[in-house]
Structures are given as structure tokens and as C-alpha cells.
Chains A and B, each alone.
Chain A
Amino acid sequence: MKTKDLGTTAPNTWCPGCGNFAILNAIKPVLADLDEEGLVAIENVVLVSGIGCHGKIADYVKANSFYAIHGRTIPVATGIKLANPDLNVICFAGDGDAYAEGLDHLIFAAKRNIDITTIIHDNRVYGLTTGQYTPTSPSGFLGRSTPAGLEVPPINPLEIVFASGGSFVARGYSHGIELLKDIFREAILHRGFSFVDVLQVCATFFNLYDYYNERVYTLEEHDPRDRDRAEEKMREWDYNSDGPIPLGIFYREDASTFGDNFMKYNSKITDLEGRIRGALEGFL
């Protein structure tokens, strides 16, 4: 499997300079390599996307996919994983998708530590609906629904996922594809709920390339198994005030995952009618 084999005939409609290209161009070689190395067969991969510019990624990768609805990638992905634990399920969701419309699902997926990967295209603005604030937009943000400036500060999604029990927490940036590829690869291979917030720049409505370029740095000498240190690093930047923005894998741990105890229910039973009669006898 080569990267070029993962292309489709769908015309790409993202704006020039869109950060989504970086995510697409990072995930394809990662999937191709994992298949080539025999680690994750491409036919076992299922991509689930939500609604927003990011969602189109489902059309752009020649792999199994479920192009779902706004905010609902995670429950779909959870169902797929529970149905067939052999599948490797990767969610692509936007920040409006995962942090506004579907925040409950994100928290529960982390709590369950379901063995799926969630990659957030966090451009901190609603692009497809032409420029409103999202849960990660900075305070004062001038959006079309907040022309006087956003009154409230953003949430820090890394802290939310960490506090909820996610066992893999990372941040990437759409400028710097090699780091993105490394993170995606580790996230996919991690057993448990893997969460990657990608600072994905919307070139049209909220161009933060210069802002990020001045502030990002890659975590080095960081032990992602150190909970306290991981939390400290997550708090170094709050998505609002100025400060250095760490990138990389903040936290990872080995933990049991939801659905492990479902494995035994995978067999088809014989003599269904007999079992039904047996169950009915209990009600005589």
C-alpha cells in the first residue's frame, strides 16, 4: 500500500492554505506505512467524520468510512469498535463538532477509554457556517454571532479529556507535518482512547499561522507517563492568554478499555428457538 493508493476521485474543495491539507497529508502516509508494516491492515481501518470542513476528509481517503453528522462521530465510532474489535476506528471531528455539539460523547469516550482514535481539526472557528466562535476561540473573538467580541474564555480540551480518563492526550499543529505524522501513528497504535487536538489553521476566517509559529515548541525530555508533569504541560497554554504552546504527546498510559468484556459475546448461538423456549419456561 502506497500513499497514492489512498486517493479518491472526489475533488478537494478546501480553501487554499487550509490546515486540513496537513491532516490529510499526514494521515495518508501513516495509514499506508502501518499497512505496509503489517501493523494495521488498511481494510481494518474505518474513518468516521462529522460535519464541517474537516468532515470532507472521509471523501478524500480511499478507506472504509462513515461520514456521520455534526457532533456524533464518537458514538458511531464506539458502536463500530464494539461491533468488531478487530477494526481500527479513527474519528475526525471539528472543534465545534467535538467540543460543542458532541462534548458529552467526548467525555464519555475518554471515561470509557474506548479503543478508538479521535483527531480534532481545531481551527477555533466555524468555517463552513462562515465565521462564528467555537468553544476554543479566544475571548474577545470577533465572530459573526459575537460582533462585539466574545465575552467568555475558551475551554482547554486537553485538560477535559485528561480529567475524564483519556489514556492518550496529544496536540499537533497543521504547520509541521512530520510531528503530526509521528503523533498520528502513536495515537493509532495506542490501545485505549487516543485524543489529538490539532491546531489546524483556517486560512479564511481565523488565520493564526503567524501567531502559532511564534509560540509553538515540541515537547522534549518529557515523560508522558508522568501524570503531574503531563498536566502541568497541558496548562502551560490555556488557548487564550499568550504563552508558549507545547506540541507532542503529553500523556499516555496503559489501561483497560471499554468493550474488553464484550469479546466473549461475539459467537453466534445455535438453536435460537430452543433458547427462546427455555427463557419462556422461566415465566410459567
Chain B
Amino acid sequence: MDEFSVLVGGRAGDGITEAGMIIARLYNQLGYCLYQYLDYPSLIRGGHNFAIVRASDKKIGSHRDRVDFLLALNQETIDRHEWRLKESSIVIYDSDEVKSQVDRGIGLPLKTMAKEAGAPAIARNSGLIGAFSGAAGIEEGVVEDVLRKAIPKSIDENLEVARRGREEIDGEEGLKVERRSYPCCPVITGNEIIGLGLLRGGLDAYVAYPMTPSSGILHFLAGVADDFSVKVVHPENEIAVILMAQGFAYAGKRAALGTSGGGFCLMTEGMSLAGMAEMPLVVVVSMRAGPSTGVPTYTAQSDLHFVMNAGQGEFPRLVIAPGDLEQAFCWSATSMGLAWKYQIPVILLSDKTLSESAYSFNLAEARDIPEIGPVHWDGEGEYRRYARTDDGISPLAFPPMKGAVTKANGYAHLESGITTEDAHEIRAVQEKSLQKEKGLKKELEALPAVRTYGDEYGSVALLCWGSNKPVCAEVGERLGLRVVQPVVMNPFPIAQFKEALEGVERKISVETNSTGQLARLVRCIGFKVDDQILKYDARPFSVEDLEERLIEVTR
């Protein structure tokens, strides 16, 4: 078999995410590319959590509905996911919890096993993983290495539970895994990669108020703050977040901030201030299903037009929507450079799927980061914070500077930074902004702002953006379709987009929203989308989902 899917499920608090990650790391050691989808409701204890781990010998970044292994810590997992089973699937479950008759099932008294080994209840996962590794034919040495690395406490007891789980499965037929040759890569979430990308872009400070699904960036950066000499601040609310970040920027420190739609609503006055005062910022917005509180721990792509238009007045709004981890890493770093060169707020748009799913990340594919940096004042003459230049970019200088003052201003201002209401001056301020946007557009032309996958000569194109890129690329590849993904959403890279669509006769857009926001965007520049595949149940497309919907529209 070239690929495997494993679902592990239980209650919140059972350690499902960690169990999924351990399974991913086992396959990772055997030469597979990994993806983990995480599904959990907005609660702390109880409910139903599950992870689907998919391993393939090719690059993947999406899940399948059907699974080869169903690992169940409770009855609900069996009841909810039985439909995912194939003829060949294997079910392993905690017989202390699951009381129903399970077809193709292997019941293990996991609770009892954990207790007998003197391990905490969470070690039920180790028994499950032990049994799974037996059924999958994964060498015991590999299992021990991965468990030792992943489990911080009571490791000997956990290994004992894993060993007993494996014993129980001995002699059973299994879905044996063969070693493959996909490079062994870190398996890591989008949020963590965005954090690393920002660090690569020279991050000095990260400011955020917790909000799912963006909080992973805050947690990750707070954890590595010492190693990377970065300040991480969690202020009183999102309004303070974006204003505080501008304080950092004013003083010459590279700041980024993160939130989701609701928090970003509060930040829009700050966005507009950054536009007028020309404060460089990177704002990570990780979308979840809305409106309002919506579905906090589930996914959507419904805020594209909101972020593209956030804040009053006219100023350049650069919006970048990476679709996989390599893009997320490169563009997080690049967005920092662009923010500082053009002195603008840059929005890095993610969603729950990209932020919280774990993927194999190949650093070798993410090395192409352009050197883009700020223009500094040369110290000649009197410093003017908003000096008007040909390209609209005013050289930067930060206090303290003897004999020079830096006056930032959210009012319309003179070159010195002093307020003005003069008609001629106001016009000049606005033209400076337009001038910057012109330069930005030109700079973007040289960057991979639109990506193409699948059959590059295909006459049918799938249009996608953000986290739908991997599933579209995979399905497009298999079905011989061209896949076109704009990464920069605003200002829209029209020339690159046109070029990517050359020879295309039919365009099908794929989005996780109900109104077709990308389709609407490209319509504004004269591209009609022929069919739209929209999904708005707050769940990401599985491979099967997309294939079935494609058959429907192309029939």
C-alpha cells in the first residue's frame, strides 16, 4: 500500500492530538509524508475529539474520509466513525469502554492495562499505539524511540502498556507498512511554521490576545522566546494588541500579531492607523467559521473580503494566503520584509485547517526567501518621518537620535509629521500612498504570487486559495487538471494569474465558504468562473469530498 489513514478518537482530555502525532511520527520514521487533521469541539473535557492521520509516499496535505485503522478510546468513536471503514480496515478499541459488538475489531482492556502498569489513564493511548504498531508491522525499536521522545512523564510505565498492547495483537493479520523513501521531515502545525517564518523574517516581538485558531502561534513563540531573543506580550484585548505592536514598530522593532476574525474586527481601527501613520506590521488572521462566534474550533475561508477591506480610508492592504507549510514559512518571512520596506500592515491569512493541522514540512522546499528590507535615513539634514520621495517610501529613523525627531501621525500630515488639513498637502499624502502601492505591485511581480500544480497544460483549471491548495493539487494531479492558486490575494497579481490560466477553457473554483469569495474577486478583474465547488459545513474538503463534487460538476 502507498498510503494509510488512521483515525484515533476519544473524549477531550484523552490525549487524542498527542496520540495522532505519535502515529504520524511512526510513519514519518518509515519514509512517509504525513498530514494530521484534528477535529474537536469548543470544550475542555468530554465531547468527541478525533484525529485522522494520513501517511503517503507522495506529498500530501489533506485527509481521506475512509480509514485503514480506527483506534477508539470510547464507544462514541466507534458509533460516529464506523462508516469510514473499508473491508480491509482494522478496529482497535478499549474494551473497558466499548461494549458493543465491533466487526473486524480487536478489543483490549486498556484501562485495566494502564492501571496494572501503574500508569496514568492517559497511557491508554500507549496501549492503543502499541497494538496499532503491531497490526501495522512497525518495528518495536521504532515505536520505543518515538514514544521516548514524545512522552515526558512515566515513560517506563507507558512503554510497558505499549508492549502489552502489542502482545495482544500478535499473530493477527495486519496492514503491514513497508519502508518508503519520502524524506524524514518535521511534522509540525501551520501555526508553528508561521511562528518560525516570522522569526526567519527577523521578528523582535509578537503580540496577541488568545483566540482559536491563532493561539498556537502565541504559545509556540512564547515557548521559544528565550532561544530566539523575542518578546512575547499578551495584552488586555485585541485593540491593545495592534496598538502595542505599532509602539514596537515606531521604536524600530519588528512586530507581528495574531488573531482570528472576531479579534480582527477590534483591530480594524488600528489597521487604518497603521495605514496612515505608515507603521510596518505583520498581522496573522487565522479564519474560523463565522459570523460572530460561529464555530470556534472549525474551519472556513469566509473573511477574505473582510480583511482586504479592513479599516477606513484608502491605503495599501497586502493580503497573503499561503496554502501549505512551505509557502507559510516563506511568506511569513517575506511578509515581514515587505511590511518594513513599504511601511504597511501586511495580512497573512490562514485558517483553522492550515493553522492547526500538522504536515510534513520540507525546509529544503522553503529556502527561497527574497532579501527585502527597509530604507534607512542617511542622517543628512533635518529628519522628516514622512519625506516625500519618488517611490513614496520615506527613509526610516528611530528614536533616540540626537538632533533629530521622529513624529508619527495618524492625522493627515506634512513631511515633518505635523498635522495638516491643507488640500494640497492632503492630496500629496494620498498620492504618496498610491506611489507605494505601485512599487509594491511591481515587487510582487517578481515573487511567486500565483502557483500552478497538477497538469500545467490542462484545459480545465481548479482555482483555489489558502488551505485548499494541497487537496486540489492532489486531486488535480490525479485527474489531469490544472490547479491555479493565487497566494497574494491583494493587490491581486493579475499578470501572473492571466499567465497561469493561459489555454484554460473551463474554470472551477474550490472554496470553503458559501458565497465564493475568490470567484467574486477574480470576476472583478474579468475572469468568469464556470463552476463553483463550495463547502460551508465548517469542515475541510477530504480527498473523496472533492473528487465526488468534481464528478458532479463535470458530469
Q: Which residues of A does B touch, CB under 8 Å? A: 8-10, 41, 43-44, 46, 56, 58-59, 62-69, 72, 75-84, 86-87, 104-105, 107-108, 262, 265-269, 272-273, 275-284
Q: Do the beta carbons of A83 and B186 come within 8 Å of each other? A: no
Is A64 a contact partner of B405 (Cβ separation < 8 A)?
Answer: yes
Complex: how many Å from CA A82 to CA B408? 18
> Within the assembled complex, what's the spacing in Å between the Cα atoms of A9 and B417?
12
Contact in complex: A58, B252 (CB < 8 Å): no
Q: Which 7 pairs, one residue from A and one from B, show the smallest C-beta to C-beta distance? A: A79-B247, A283-B186, A83-B251, A75-B243, A79-B244, A43-B400, A75-B240
Interface residues of B in 209-246 (CB under 8 A from A): 224-231, 233, 235-237, 239-241, 243-246
B409 at the interface (CB under 8 A from A): yes
A108 and B240 in contact, given A83-B204, A83-B248, A84-B251 (Cβ under 8 angstroms): yes
Q: Are the C-beta atoms of A104 and B231 separated by less than 8 Å? A: no
Tell me the chain B residues, 12-60 only, with Cβ under 8 Å from chain A.
25, 28
The answer to whether residues A83 and B408 also contact, given A43-B401, A44-B399, A56-B419 and a CB cut-off of 8 A, is no
**Other than the known A64-B405, A87-B251, A275-B227, what 19 A-B pairs have Cβ atoms closer than 8 Å?**
A41-B402, A43-B402, A58-B409, A65-B406, A65-B408, A67-B411, A69-B410, A72-B239, A77-B247, A82-B205, A83-B205, A84-B399, A87-B399, A105-B239, A108-B236, A266-B229, A272-B199, A272-B200, A280-B188
Chain A residues within 8 Å of B81, by CB: none
From the candidates A44, A79, A267, name the one contacting B229 in the complex (CB within 8 A): A267
Give the contacting residue for B408; candidates A67, A266, A272; CB below 8 A.
A67
Chain B residues with Cβ under 8 A from A268's Cβ?
229
- Report whether B229 and A64 are in contact in the complex, using a CB–CB cutoff of 8 Å: no
**CB–CB A265/B229 < 8 A:** yes
Tell whether B84 is near chain A: CB-to-CB under 8 Å.
no
User: What separation, in Å, do the CA atoms of A107 and B277 have in the docked complex?
Assistant: 26
Using CB atoms, name the residue of chain A closest to B146. Answer: A284
- Closest residue to B189 on the A side, CB-wise? A283
- Of residues 184 to 200 in B, which have CB atoms within 8 Å of A's CB atoms? 184-188, 192, 196, 199-200
Whether B479 is near chain A, meaning CB under 8 Å from some CB there, is: no
| Cα distance, A59 to B420, chains bound together (Å) | 10
Answer whether A284 and B28 are a contact pair too, CB < 8 Å, given A68-B410, A83-B205: yes
Decide yes or no whether B388 CB sits under 8 A from chain A.
Answer: no
Question: A174: shortest Cβ distance to chain B, in Å?
Answer: 22
Q: List 20 A-B contacts (CB under 8 A).
A: A41-B402, A43-B404, A59-B418, A64-B406, A65-B407, A68-B243, A68-B246, A69-B269, A75-B240, A76-B250, A79-B250, A80-B248, A80-B250, A82-B248, A83-B252, A84-B400, A87-B399, A104-B236, A105-B240, A280-B186
Say what secondary structure dominates the interface of chain A: helix
Nearest CB of B to A136, in Å:
22
Contact of A76 with B411 at beta-carbon distance under 8 Å, contacts A43-B400, A64-B406 already known: no
Tell me how many residue pairs across A and B have CB atoms closer than 8 Å.
182
CA A75 to CA B235, docked complex, whole Å: 9
Say yes or no for B363: interface residue by CB 8 A criterion: yes
CA distance A82 to B227 in the complex (A): 19
Interface: B93 (CB within 8 A): no
Q: How far is the CB of A89 from chain B (nearest CB, A)?
A: 8
Which residue of A10, A66, A279 contacts B224 across the interface (Cβ within 8 Å)?
A279
> A64 — which chain B residues lie within 8 A by C-beta?
399-400, 405-407
Give the nearest-CB partner of B407 in chain A. A65
- How far apart are A51's CB and chain B's nearest CB, in angstroms? 8
Bound complex: CA A18 to CA B236 (Å):
34
Interface residues of B in 163-204 (CB under 8 A from A): 184-188, 192, 196, 199-200, 202, 204
Say if the beta carbon of B330 comes within 8 Å of chain A: no
Q: Is B361 an interface residue (CB 8 A)?
A: yes
Instruction: Select one of B227, B245, B413 contacting A79, CB under 8 A.
Output: B245
Contacts of A9 in B (CB 8 A): 418
A108 CB contacts on chain B under 8 angstroms: 235-236, 240
Q: How far is the CA of A272 from the CA of B369 in the complex (A)?
A: 14
> Is the beta-carbon distance between B231 and A265 smaller than 8 angstroms?
yes
For B245, the chain A residues whose CB sits under 8 A away are: 79
For the complex, give the distance between the alpha carbons of A41 and B192 in Å. Answer: 41
Which residues of the other chain, B, contact A282 by a CB distance below 8 angstroms? 186
Contacts of B419 in A (CB 8 A): 10, 56, 59, 67
Q: Which residues of B pack against A, CB within 8 Å?
A: 25, 28, 184-188, 192, 196, 199-200, 202, 204-205, 207, 224-231, 233, 235-237, 239-241, 243-253, 255, 269-270, 273, 277, 361, 363, 398-411, 413, 417-419
The minimal Cβ–Cβ distance linking B36 to chain A, given in whole angstroms, is: 12
Chain A residue at smallest Cβ distance from B192 = A283
**B247 neighbours in A (Cβ, 8 Å):** 66, 75-83
CA distance A10 to B420 in the complex (A): 9
In the complex with contacts A108-B235, A272-B200, A66-B277 CB distance below 8 A: yes
Q: Contact between B228 and A275 (Cβ–Cβ < 8 Å)?
A: yes
Whether A58 pairs with B407 at a CB distance below 8 angstroms is: yes
Interfacial chain B residues near A84, Cβ < 8 Å: 251-253, 398-400
Q: How far is the CA of A265 from the CA of B419 in the complex (A)?
A: 35
Contact at A284–B199, with CB atoms within 8 Å?
A: no
- Known contacts A87-B400, A108-B235, A276-B200; A67/B409 CB under 8 A: yes
A79 touching B399 in the complex, CB below 8 Å, given contacts A65-B408, A283-B192, A284-B184: no
B251 touches A104 (CB 8 A): no
Which residues of chain B are within 8 angstroms of A279 by Cβ–Cβ distance?
196, 224, 227
Question: How long is the Cα–Cα vector from A84 to B252 in the complex, in angstroms?
Answer: 9
Q: Is the CB of A8 within 8 A of B418?
A: yes
CA distance A31 to B331 in the complex (A): 44
| Chain A residues with CB below 8 A from B361, complex form | 280, 283
Residues of B within 8 Å of A265, CB to CB, are 225-226, 229-231
A23 CB, min distance to chain B CBs, angstroms: 18
Tell which of B28, B202, B228, B255 has the most Cβ of chain A within 10 Å: B228
Closest A residue to B185 by beta carbon equals A284
**Min distance, Cβ A266 to any Cβ of chain B, angstroms:** 8
Q: How far is the CA of A52 from the CA of B345 in the complex (A)?
A: 25
Q: Are B405 and A65 in contact (CB-based, < 8 A)?
A: yes
Q: Which of A79, A87, A108, A277 has the most CB of B within 10 A?
A: A79
* Across-interface contacts of B225 in A (CB, < 8 A): 265
Q: How far is the CA of A77 from the CA of B186 in the complex (A)?
A: 40
**Chain A residues near B244 (CB-CB < 8 A):** 75-76, 78-79, 82
A44-B400, A82-B205, A283-B186 known; A104 and B418 CB under 8 Å?
no
**Residue numbers in B under 8 Å from A87 (CB-CB):** 251, 399-400
- Least distance between B187 CB and chain A CB atoms (Å): 6
B405 engages A276 (CB within 8 Å): no
Q: Check B25 against A284 for contact (C-beta < 8 Å).
A: yes
B205 touches A76 (CB 8 A): no
Task: Specify which chain A residues have a CB less than 8 angstroms from the CB of B228 in the assembled complex.
Answer: 269, 272, 275
Which residue of chain A has the shortest Cβ distance to B241 in the bound complex?
A75
Q: Which of B237, B404, B418 has the most CB of A within 10 A?
A: B418
Which residues of chain A have C-beta atoms less than 8 A from B243's C-beta? Answer: 68-69, 72, 75-76, 79
Q: How far is the CA of A282 from the CA of B150 in the complex (A)?
A: 10
- Bound CA span A204–B451, Å: 61
Instruction: Point out the residues of chain B lying under 8 angstroms from A76, CB to CB.
Output: 243-244, 246-247, 250
Measured CA separation A265–B230 after assembly (Å): 6
Q: Shortest CB–CB separation between residue A238 and chain B, in angstroms?
A: 26
CA distance A87 to B409 in the complex (A): 19
Closest to A78 in B: B244
Point out the residue from B205, B363, B400, B410 that lies within 8 Å of A86, measured CB to CB: B400
List residues of chain A with CB within 8 A of the CB of B231. 82, 262, 265
